[in-house]
Amino acid sequence: MKYLFINVLAGSASTGRLCAEKCRELMRQGDECLLAFGRGVTGCEDIPTLQIGTAVDYNLHAAMSRVLDNQGFGSRRATAEFLRRVREYDPDVIWLHNLHGYYLNLELLFDYLRGCGKKILWTLHDCWAFTGHCTYFDFVGCDRWKTGCHHCPQKKAYPASLLLDGSKRNYGKKKALFTGIPNMTLLVPSHWLERRVQESFLREYPVEVVANTVNTGIFKPTPSDFRKRYGLENQKIILGVANIWEERKGLKDFVALSGMLEEPYRIVLVGLSPEQRRQVPERILTLPRTASAGELAQIYSAADVYVNPSVEETFGMTALEAHCCGTPSIVYEDTACEEIAAQYGGIAVPRGPENLLRAIQELLKEVET
């Protein structure tokens, strides 16, 4: 079988690593794979890859989206050239992942998918496929996506628009493009996302819950000098990791938590932007984003507890990665992360830093005894 994967990233961040690992798994079984990506390829030397467009294409698409709120409707030339290569490759299965990220033209892509006669899988990693703009909506209590988006309350959230609100137009276009595709099955990593898909205009498709997996050859208890390097040898490390620390990820809760903790507890946060690193209290150790899965495994392994105070996740990949490295996790209730905690022995608590504090103290007390 010949597989074509399409994702914004290849080999990096959670979705890029998932795509790369699935390619490797299929290739070990004797299948042929091609991983097409929009930007950013890391550690995929053993996988055939194809970049869609160029940096110039990406920047133009992003600039248009900032003004017109039309993410997904640029990159016509890049997408047309990509589809020419797809027809040459002639895959048996087309496996879609994150289609947002300023690298594809949805109209051209789904016009091809509608008539290509191929088996199509689409793994949803967020809610963008059935909204007019945003990737998540629970945080702001919006349910317009159920009937038709308009007057988006998150216009300036990713994919940010600084001028126009195109949510009503985008919702209509996406509904017309994404529905009625023959032979398409949706894959979601959690029952949390499954429930939302079944309330959306994508409800016509079969939906399968397939939990994400991690490479346990990399994410495993990994010794390192991390504690010594950062002067944490006698500290209780409370770790948080995110690719992008958006508001929904819970950075404010970590800041509040840091004011409640005393020695020997120390919060370590990975993935903050330079501006965020300047803004958080000095008592929090902040580290930049790392593209190295091996380095991340070292950090997970060095921590005493992993905390994910995100209020919106479709799975909670970092909690699973931490678990595989031997570090227990604490997450919030009523999120997809709670499913990870239930399966792997983590703790789910009501929202609020005071609840995180109690759980941390109880968990570490149990470990000590």
302: three-class secondary structure by DSSP: helix
Whether 279 and 360 map to the same domain: the answer is: yes
Counting runs of H as helices and runs of E as strands, what totals does the chain give?
13, 13
Asked if the structure places residue 218 within a domain, the reply is no
Give the pLDDT score at 292: 87
Whether 176 and 141 map to the same domain: the answer is: yes
Q: Residue 97 carries which side chain, given as an amino acid letter? A: H
Helix/strand/coil (H, E, C) string of 180-246?
A: CCCCEEEEECCHHHHHHHCCCCCCCCCEEECCCCCCCCCCCCCCCCHHHHCCCCCCEEEEEECCCCC
Asked if the structure places residue 219 within a domain, the reply is no
Give the pLDDT score at 131: 98
Q: How many domains does the chain have?
A: 2
Give the pLDDT score at 244: 87
Pick from 99, 108, 102, 105: nearest CA to 66: 102
Give the pLDDT score at 366: 65
Q: Assign 153 a pLDDT band (cuts: 50, 70, 90).
A: very high
Q: Assign 367 a pLDDT band (cuts: 50, 70, 90).
A: low
Say if CB 299 and CB 270 are below 8 A apart: yes
Is the predicted pLDDT of residue 369 greater than 70, yes or no? no
Last residue of a domain, one of 209, 236, 259: 209
Last residue of a domain, one of 159, 183, 209: 209
Q: Read off the CATH number of the domain in which 344 is found.
A: 3.40.50.2000
Whether 263 and 137 map to the same domain: the answer is: no
347: three-class secondary structure by DSSP: strand
Is the predicted pLDDT of residue 91 greater than 70, yes or no? yes
Asked if the structure places residue 220 within a domain, the reply is no
Whether 268 and 339 map to the same domain: the answer is: yes
Asked if the structure places residue 115 within a domain, the reply is yes
Give the pLDDT score at 295: 96
Question: Under the phi-then-psi rule, with left for phi > 0, alpha for psi from -120 to 50, and beta for the rest, what region is 182?
Answer: beta
Query: What percent of the chain is modeled with pLDDT above 90?
Result: 88
**CA 241 to centroid of chain Cα atoms:** 12
Give the pLDDT score at 368: 59
Whether 185 and 292 map to the same domain: the answer is: no
Whether 133 and 6 map to the same domain: the answer is: yes
74: three-class secondary structure by DSSP: coil
72: which 2 tokens? 């997904």
Whether 205 and 338 map to the same domain: the answer is: no
Give the pLDDT score at 164: 95
Give the pLDDT score at 349: 97
Whether 268 and 170 map to the same domain: the answer is: no
Asked if the structure places residue 341 within a domain, the reply is yes
Spell out the residues 6+ positions from residue 71 whose beta carbon is closer than 8 angstroms to its own. Answer: 61, 65, 100, 102, 133, 159, 170
What pLDDT, in 10s, does the model give residues 28-51?
999 999 999 999 899 999 999 999
Distances (CA, A) of 175 to 38, 148, 156: 23, 9, 22
Asked if the structure places residue 25 within a domain, the reply is yes
Whether 145 and 261 map to the same domain: the answer is: no
Q: Domain containing 236: what range?
A: 226-368
Say if CB 357 and CB 261 are below 8 A apart: yes
Q: Assign 130 a pLDDT band (cuts: 50, 70, 90).
A: very high
Distance CA(124)–CA(287), nearest Å, equals 29
Last residue of a domain, one of 181, 209, 237: 209
Distance CA(327)–CA(61), nearest Å, equals 40
Distance CA(136)–CA(265), nearest Å, equals 32
What b/e readout covers 121-140, taking b as 16+ CB neighbours within 10 angstroms?
bbbbbbbbbbbbbbbbbebe
Asked if the structure places residue 221 within a domain, the reply is no
Q: Which residue has the tokens 């194809």?
A: 50
Give the pLDDT score at 345: 87
What pLDDT, in 10s, does the model give residues 276-333?
999 999 999 999 998 788 999 999 999 999 999 998 888 888 999 999 999 999 999 9
Whether 7 and 143 map to the same domain: the answer is: yes
Whether 160 and 242 map to the same domain: the answer is: no
What pLDDT, in 10s, does the model give residues 55-68?
999 999 999 999 99
Spell out the residues 6+ positions from residue 49 whose beta carbon is closer than 8 angstroms to its own. Answer: 10, 34, 35, 36, 37, 41
Q: Read off the CATH number of the domain in which 175 is found.
A: 3.40.50
Q: Assign 3 a pLDDT band (cuts: 50, 70, 90).
A: very high
Asked if the structure places residue 214 within a domain, the reply is no
Whether 131 and 239 map to the same domain: the answer is: no
What pLDDT, in 10s, does the model give residues 243-278?
889 888 999 999 999 999 988 999 999 999 999 999
φ, ψ at 67 (rounded to 5°): -95, -45
What pLDDT, in 10s, does the model give residues 342-353?
998 899 999 999
